[in-house]
Amino acid sequence: MNRTSLVERLEGILGPGGVFHRPSDLLVYEYDGSVDGAVDTALPAAVTLPTTTEQVAAIVRLAHEAGLPVTARGAGTGLSGGAVAQQGGIIVSLTRMDRIVEIDRADRTALVEPGVINLELSETTLPQGYFFAPDPSSQRACTIGGNVAENSGGPHCLKYGVTTNHVLGLEVVLPDGRIVWTGGHADGGPGYDLTAAMVGSEGMLGIVTKALVRLTPAPEATLVLLAAFGDVDAASHATSRVIGAGIVPAALELMDALTIQAVEPAYHAGYPLDAGAVLLIEIDGVVEDVRALGEEIAAICREAGATEVRSATAQAERDLLWKGRKMALAAMGRLAPNYYLHDTVVPRSKLPATLHRVDEISRHFDLPIANVFHAGDGNLHPLMLFDRRRAGDVERVLEASKEILHYCVEVGGALSGEHGIGTEKRDYVTLVYSADDLAAMAGIKNSFDPAGCFNPEKLFPKGYMCGEVRALRAQAMAQKLGIYAF
């Protein structure tokens, strides 16, 4: 099918305003939030903007007929290349499917379309006493569909869990165009948990067109502590002591001096400019518990070397402190033209050693690295500052990234905490997964998408395509049988 025929048939499904195909329009969709050089850009043949599930299904059936790949896309804020159409084909942009279909106060659920902005869901439900707990730093722009695809987290996932803990059911368009529901209002149930398989699958198994999500009751009281330390090491040890005391705050975030230097002049959040690091700690619950925990955490921080501990109970003051944290990425433009935000995880006990190693890597590659991350669960976000116009800078960023990832895996960590694998980390998955592991994943992918048309070239490293992985698994099994043969 040539491009003209493809566009005509897509316009027949969506109308002329629902299809982008001119080169100038397509340029906007050739990348996501990833750094240049870390993820390849790619142009789709067409971008579609459906408004109904039936339109999504019709687009998928047309792509299936034409043998074209399909890539689902939300707000494009992803940081691992997940929304980039690596093999061209059709992008299904879900931003016009942005209705909050139903809020059920009795069951504490909301039925939403994938284009609903994360923060807007909480803003809608808070007057009724509920909020949507997963809160990525991009929550002012990112969509629920993208959160589901990447299993997004955020500062408050320490207490409340990541996206998968808040999704009860999904309406999904499968690669052959069928529309199915997974899960439902009731937790658990017999059979395979297909909802859990979909959450975090990076758009490789199906396109989510509705999500039934769990709403969390708003807490009676909230307190935010700002603890300043002389250096990152002291702040890291304080983090371990808080968790070691059996306290699970709603959020426990760490920002180092370089981050503070970028954020404070821009947003005047109240972070001390002379601090080597600060912890932003939120506690919520009933009034008495919040007050008692706040005092206990403040004492732990002082014992760990905090030079200052301030508490914020007023909404405006809390909002300002959180604004500084969530706008940290935007503030980095004050320090460098470009940044590369990494995403990896280490055990909390390894935070001090890992941050020492990040500092060594920063000095070795002559590359400023700011640290702003979810300290409570060890989800690191090293921010590498560079200028891509300067020869060699992108290469140094990628080499430094490799060093960080290898170290984090060596100390028992994970490749990604919330950004996903996409194309950014697909060549590193063999650090943590065996051929058998990849074969099992490939088996799930093949069961949903035997033609391999949904979001191809993601997650599986080059040279480990589905068929090759199956062959490797067979080889591994033969070796095992040989070991135990008589």
Q: Compute, in degrees rounded to 10, the torsion defined by CA atoms 401, 403, 404, 408.
A: 140
Q: What is the pLDDT of residues 359-404, one digit of tens each?
A: 999 999 999 999 999 999 999 999 999 999 999 999 999 999 999 9
- Give the ranges where 92-205 is alpha helix by DSSP (H): 118-125, 144-150, 157-160, 194-198
Residue 378 near residue 351, CB atoms below 8 Å: yes
At position 261, the amino acid (one-letter code) is Q
Q: Compute, in degrees rounded to 10, the torsion defined by CA atoms 43, 45, 51, 57.
A: -120
Residue 30 near residue 87, CB atoms below 8 Å: no
CA atoms of 237 and 350, how far apart (whole Å):
10
Q: Tell me the HSE value of 255 on the side-chain side, using a 13 A CA sphere.
A: 32
Would the pLDDT of 39 be above 70?
no
pLDDT over 70 percentage in the chain: 94
CA atoms of 115 and 101, how far apart (whole Å):
12
Q: How confident is the model at residue 299 (pLDDT cuts 50, 70, 90)?
A: very high
List beta partners, residue 214: 109
Instruction: Write the CA distances from 177 to 72, 127, 370, integer angstroms.
Output: 14, 38, 45
Domains of the chain: 3-93 (3.30.43.10), 100-217 (3.30.465.10), 219-335 (3.30.70.2190), 433-483 (no CATH)
Q: What is the pLDDT of residues 164-220, one digit of tens each?
A: 999 999 999 999 999 999 999 877 778 899 999 999 999 999 999 999 999 999 999
Tell if the pTM clears 0.85, that is, is over it: yes
Q: What is the pLDDT of residues 58-107, one digit of tens each?
A: 999 999 999 999 999 999 999 999 999 999 999 999 999 999 999 999 99
Which residues make Cβ contacts (< 8 Å) with residue 356, sequence separation at least 6? 233
At position 231, the amino acid (one-letter code) is D
